[in-house]
Amino acid sequence: MGSIGLLLVCKVLPYLEQELDYHYTLFRMSDYPQMAQLLSHHAASIRAVVCNTRAGADAKLIEALPNLEIVLNYGVGVDGVDLNKCREKGIRVTNTPDVLTDSVADLAIGLILTLLRRICECDRYVRSGQWKKGEYKLTSKFSGKTVGIVGLGRIGLAIAKRAEGFNCPICYYSRTEKPESKYKYYPSVVELASNCDILVVACSLTEETYHIINRKVIDALGPSGFLINIGRGKHVDEAELVSALVEGRLGGAGLDVFENEPHVPQELFGLENVVLLPHVGPGTVETRIAMADLVLGNLEAHFHGKPLLTPICLTSDVV
């Protein structure tokens, strides 16, 4: 399949890049400072694109590749891919679900524990020698706290399962109630926030979920509540979150994602009740290898006429 042109627009695991280079004619976006130069020489030969949320496949790129057949998203969220344009042109789209569920759910629990028990601050307390001057202040326990989850999909369910191990009551919000779920359902995010101690954002990013965490939700969570975001930065109205934390209207926040990554609001850096991570939810060796294998498996399936392993449904009612 070496004659098949493939465009890599994002940074991936070296293992995946090596496999793509071995099996396909690989064009790296990073090798071309000017997109026009790449397109003028190779656009017609590119039949597949590998991308992610940060470096995606927008309408302009898709239109510029006349023989594009498939877009492979190295991640779960496909908000970096213009699905409408793909549907219009009959281009297939895949992602890498399931394999990163455990890593992201693990991190969500880690964020909760780190935030409530002030683990980062405790570490600094010991390193700076302050422990010799006195005991560290009391913190808040996780066990028994009510956890509300926005989005009860694969990752949301995995977080709920882990939180149950801490004897936490679980409740959730989703577009529709899930009859098979044993957890309490609330028909709005404001109601969910009003009835939980810890609110975890774990839904997909869509037009409906953009800024789903707004001032009303934050105020409903209140000065003793905690917000955890392992979804997408744009789920949260970041300006409202910052003001709530600065003004003491929210108890704390654990954030792995931000609205304008890698830029983080400067006001958050001086706050003790905030834990900030550089979007590392799925960032484990095991997960990245599994994601890479899914990309390779989908490519092989497509170019051998077999069913895709993890296709994205492009019917209008889904998108």
Among this protein's residues, is 232 annotated catalytic?
yes
Q: What are phi and psi of 47, to 5 degrees?
A: -115, -10
Angstrom distance (rounded) from CA 77 to CA 96: 9
Distance of CA 150 to the CA centre of its chain: 13
- The one catalytic residue in 232, 235, 288, 302 is 232
Strands 147-150 and 92-94: unpaired
Query: Considering only CA atoms, which of 318, 317, 308, 316 is closest in space to residue 88?
Result: 316
Q: How many CB atoms lie within 10 A of CB 70?
A: 21
Contacts of residue 202, defined as CB under 8 A and 6 or more positions apart, other chains included, come to 104, 108, 149, 150, 151, 152, 153, 155, 156, 159, 230, 231
**Residue for token digits 């997909």?**
204
Are the CB atoms for 175 and 202 separated by under 8 Å? no
Angstrom distance (rounded) from CA 253 to CA 200: 10
- Strands, sheet with 25-28, edge to edge from the N-terminal-most edge strand: 25-28, 5-8, 46-51, 70-73, 92-94
Say how many CA atoms lie within 13 Å of 169 toward its Cβ.
9
Among this protein's residues, is 261 annotated catalytic?
yes
Angstrom distance (rounded) from CA 116 to CA 243: 20
- The one catalytic residue in 261, 272, 286, 300 is 261
Give me the active site residues, please.
Answer: 232, 261, 279
